[in-house]
Structure formats: structure tokens, C-alpha cells
Amino acid sequence: MDISQTSDLWWKNAVFYCLDVETFRDGNGDGTGDFRGLTDRIDYLAGLGVTCIWLMPFYPTANRDDGYDILDYYAVDPRYGSLGDFVEFLRTARDRGIRVIADLVVNHTSAEHPWFQASRSDKSSPLRDWYVWREAIPEGASQSLVFPDKETSNWELDKKTGEYYLHRFYNHQPDLNIANPDVRDEIRKIIGFWLELGLSGFRVDAVPFLLETEGIAQAMDLDPHDWLRNLRSFLGRRRGDALLMGEVNLEYEAVREFYGDSGGDELHMCLNFNLNQALALALVREDAGALMHNLRAMPTLPKDAAWANFIRNHDEWSLDKLTEAERQEVFQAFGPKPDMQLFGRGLRRRLPTMLDGNQARLRMAYSLMFALPGAPVLFYGEEIGMAENLEIEGRMSVRSPMQWSDRENGGFSEAASDALCRPLIRSRKWGPSAINVRDQERDGGSLLIWMEQLIRHRREMPEIAFGKWSLQPIADPAVLAVSYEWGDRRSLLVHNLDSSQKQVSFQMASRPDKASFVDRLGEGGIDVRADGTITLVLGGYGYRWLGLI
């Protein structure tokens, strides 16, 4: 084991922080977040312990899907500043030891993108074949809908040319045609452009849809996964340590295919939606069974690949991998009202409100997420316990402005607050007057200070990222114990998902004595017998991070 070599695989031990520039920090007082405001808060993120910022789309947009409907892949939306402001942000982040990745959204463009406008202008347009056109909807074409509340088909009739174009998302987001080599070359140029400016990689949006060729009439001259391998190879040539993190919400067996062969030559990481949904069920039941079953089902990854674990992201908390009965169980506990649910498959809430503000339970949940095999991903505001705003439509409910202080209405102008924050401002329990960065920075017992400690301990235990993990057999179904080994580094992380105190006993393969344990996080008694039996006391929603020396 050589700890110095782990920097080559920095993403395995990274702490990711996803944010939307538009709602993170307003630097010029115009009511919209911008790169100037984000740059002003780099030291805050560095102090928190973040090692990689994940930027949601910041490109020029028609703004009908929060930036995921892109008009220009080679520019910054003027609302957020200039390309120069972006480069200054990257420089500042790099100076603080923070890498930056950005959303790569190339499955589709905005219908207002110049490429699509040219494509729909005439059937003989040179850009006609950059999108997927058919004279009639293909027989047997998939009609599974990503947004069943808004769309009734994946095909839309263009009245000007009388043909249908494919859109697997909204009808104002036509799919690019990856069977066209010119489109694939353009995507490579986009990647190269942003790498040249200093990005450390990309979170690739909707990867299964990006590689899907259903509905495309022409034959692709290579397998879609071979194209993904080509992108990975190109990325490596341009910047050897750059990352491709994939959004692949499929069953484990299918997700494994997106990592590539046994050596790993496609995606470096995938967001672990399966484990995320098992976590939701485990929290509801206060029982670790769903998590244990899911962890045992995780496929073996290539040596240099990793999972990215999260509790909340910028979309709904999808529960599509649960059975209908399990999904209804989660709905009943965490989102019983119809306006808390979305598409019949997910929740549009943040965790603190789902747990009714229970701090012990909230901290245990984040401790557990950080303790699972993979790298942790935080969504902005989670570190202070921000709530959702259900008065904002759809998935946007969790994307309200970051709450910096009570005096600034979340750090944004009055106009922005009226649009995005006002219901929360009126809330004494969840609004900026009750939950904000400024107050928590001054409170040694706050969630923010605790989260800083959690991140520090996670970074001090690289065995979680690089080591071999195993589940320790615990009789109590509410307790999950995971051990890690990497060279001479060993650790044991134990979590009690139940509200009552637990005393658990088990035996490890080795026989450490009591002096061998270093308490890193959590509290409670510990007893080690001569025969190697370890007994731990865990408070309700308690956790222990134990290093073995």
C-alpha cells in the first residue's frame, strides 16, 4: 500500500458537493446566483472539507428545465457571469485544493438550439441528421415516459417539415443522433473545450438514454459502449486524471456494464441509485435489512472504479427500484401528501423534513451514507439541514436558494426570495431565520460543525475508499456494521437505525484488544473479551467510527 499513489484515483476518496450556480450565491445583487458569488464562498466549501465541486448546467439555456435545455455548449449563461468569471472561479477553487466537474448534458439540446433550428428548417439541411427524424412514429417504439405528468409520447410532430423528432425527455428537448459521427465528434470537442479551461471531469447526464439507439433508423458504425470507451480514452489523453461520473439509474447488473470490461474502460464512477433507494426503505423501517441485502447484491467493480453515494440530489428521490408495496411504505412515512410525491415514483422533499427535524436521526443517516463503500456526494444545503419548498413546481422544490443568513433572505435579493424563498421565509422552523450558515458557524453543536467533523474523519480513513469491505454479522436487525481493511489500515463503522439504545456483540476475524480501538466519531461503551468478542453500546440512532491500530 502506497498512500501517495491514491491521488491518481482522487475520485475514490473525494467528497463531492453538487450545486446550482443560479441558486447558490448572488454576487452582484441582481437576484440570480453567479460565479462571482460562488467564488466568494470557495473558502466556505474548503472549510467544510469539500474536495470536488459538481456544477449543475451553467451554459446558455432556454430555461425551461433549469439549465438542462442547452443553447450553447461553449459558453456561460450571461446571468451567471462571463467565461472569465468562470475561469477565475476555477483558479480560486484549484488554489484551495478543490477540483471541479460539471454536468455533461449531450443526450439532447434545447429545441431553440441553433443546431435544431437548422435541422428543422429544411429536410435537406446539413444538420438534419444531427437529430432523430422519422416520417411516422416507429412501430413498437418505446413509449416509456420520463415525465409522465407532462408528456404522452417520446415523439413530437414538427409541423414545418411534417416529420416526427425523438425526445426521451421533454418535447422541447430533442435528442441528438449519436449514430451520426459528426455529432459524436462534436461531443468530443465539447469535452475537450472544458477540460482545456480546467475542469477535472464530468457528471454525465442520463447515460443509458445517451447510448440508446432505439428509434434511430440508421445503423451506428460502432457499438454505443465502444463509443463510451472512445470518450473515456479521449478524456484520458487530454487529462489523465479526469473523471466520468455517470447517472445510470438501472438495476445493478445493467449498471455494471457502464463501467466497461474487467479493467474498467468506460465510466469511472456511477451514482448508486440502488443503494440510495434501499437507504430510504431502511430509514423508514429503522431496520438495516434492506441495506444489507443491497450491499450484498452490489457487483464487483473494476479495480480503479468506484460508486458515488448520496442521500439527496437535485431530482426527486426516485423509488422506482422498490416494489410497489415498499414504495407506498416510504410514501406513507416520508411523503404522505400528494404534493410531496412526483410521477408516482419519487419524493420531492429533503431529508430533514422527512425526519421531522430529528437531529439524532439526521446525523445518523449522513454518518451512514459516508460510511458505505464509495465516495460521498452532498447536495448544497444538506450540511445545514435545509428543507424543500413544496410551493416550487416539480423537482425544483429541492433547489431553493442556499440559506446563508437570516438577514439576507438566503443571500439573495428580495425579488429572488419572492420567487423561490418566500414560503420558507415565513416558516419559523425551516426558513433562513431558523436555518442558515451564519448562525451554524457560530454554534459548536450545529449540524454544519458536525458535518465538517464527519468529512474530516471520512478523509482520514482512506480504507473506506480503497480497502476491502465486509459486513459484520449482527443479530439485531436495526444495526449495520461494516469493516474495512487496506494494508495495515482497519476500521469498523457501526450504525443503529433504531430509536432505542442497543448493545451488540460480535466477533471479528482478528482479535484486537480494547486498546486497539480509536474512537473517531460517535460515543458509547466498548468491551473486548479475551476470546475476541466485541460488545458495543449504541444510543438511539447512534453510530461509531472505530479505527483499529
Alpha helix segments (H runs only) across 198-268: 207-211, 224-238, 252-257
Predicted local confidence at residue 410, as pLDDT: 46
Q: How far apart are CA 153 and CA 178, in angstroms?
A: 21
The DSSP secondary structure of 500-534, one letter per residue, reads: S-EEEEEE-SS---GGGEEEEEE---EEE-TTSEE
**Dihedral angle computed from the Cα positions of residues 501, 504, 510 and 513, in that order, rounded to the nearest 10 degrees:** 60
The percent of residues above 90 in pLDDT, for the chain, comes to: 84
Mean pLDDT of 247-251: 98
C-alpha cell of residue 199: 475542469
Burial 177-216 (b: 16+ CB within 10 A, else e): bbbbeebbebbbebbeebbeebbbbbbbbbbbebbbeebb
Q: How far apart are CA 523 and CA 527, in angstroms?
A: 13
Q: How far apart are CA 99 and CA 428, in angstroms?
A: 36
Taking phi over 0 as left and psi of -120 to 50 as alpha, with beta for the rest, 377 belongs to: beta
pLDDT exceeds 70 at position 36: yes
Mean pLDDT of 137-146: 80
DSSP state of 218: S
- Relative to beta strand 155-158, strand 163-166 is antiparallel
Instruction: Write out the H or E segment, with its range, that includes residue 169.
Output: none
Radius of gyration over every alpha carbon of the chain, rounded to an integer in angstroms? 24
Q: What domains appear along the chain, each with residue ranges and CATH number?
A: 3-109+180-459 (3.20.20.80), 114-166 (3.90.400.10), 467-548 (2.60.40.1180)
487 in Cβ contact with 512 (< 8 Å):
no
Instruction: Write out the H or E segment, with its range, that includes residue 151.
Output: none
CA distances from 273 to 276, 332, 532 (A): 5, 21, 37
Known catalytic membership, residue 205: yes
- Give the model confidence (pLDDT) of 309-358 as tens digits: 999 999 999 999 999 999 999 999 999 999 999 999 999 999 999 999 99
- Give the model confidence (pLDDT) of 393-440 as tens digits: 999 999 999 999 986 554 565 445 445 555 555 567 899 999 999 999
The DSSP secondary structure of 263-279, one letter per residue, reads: T--S-SEEE-HHHHHHH
Known catalytic membership, residue 247: yes
- Give the model confidence (pLDDT) of 86-116 as tens digits: 999 999 999 999 999 999 999 999 999 999 9
Q: What is the chain's length?
A: 549
Mean pLDDT of 361-380: 98
Q: How far apart are CA 179 and CA 260, in angstroms?
A: 20
Count H helices, E strands: the chain? Answer: 19, 22
Instruction: Write out the H or E segment, with its range, that includes residue 111.
Output: none
Residue bearing the bigger pLDDT, 217 or 239: 239
Q: How far apart are CA 57 and CA 71, in angstroms?
A: 11
* Mean pLDDT of the residues in the chain: 93
Q: Coil, helix or strand for 175?
A: strand
Predicted local confidence at residue 411, as pLDDT: 54
C-alpha cell of residue 312: 439527496
Question: Which member of 26, 103, 175, 247 is catalytic?
Answer: 247
144 in Cβ contact with 227 (< 8 Å):
no
Burial degree of 16 (CB within 10 A; 0-12, 13-18, 19+) = buried
Question: Which member of 65, 103, 175, 205 is catalytic?
Answer: 205
Helix axes 224-238, 181-197, angle to 10 degrees: 30
246 in Cβ contact with 204 (< 8 Å):
yes
The DSSP secondary structure of 387-447, one letter per residue, reads: PP-TTS-GGGGG-PPP---TTTTTTS-HHHIIIIIHHHHT-TTTSTTTS-HHHHHT-TTSH
pLDDT exceeds 70 at position 70: yes
Phi and psi angles of residue 499, each rounded to the nearest 5 degrees, phi first: -80, -15
Q: How far apart are CA 224 and CA 208, in angstroms?
A: 10
Residue bearing the bigger pLDDT, 262 or 337: 337
Mean pLDDT of 47-72: 97
Mean pLDDT of 294-316: 96
Residue whose cell numbers read 423528432: 165
Among candidate residues 532, 533, 366, the one with its CA nearest the CA of residue 450 = 366
- Give the model confidence (pLDDT) of 454-504 as tens digits: 999 999 999 999 999 999 999 999 999 999 999 999 999 999 999 999 999
C-alpha cell of residue 62: 432556454
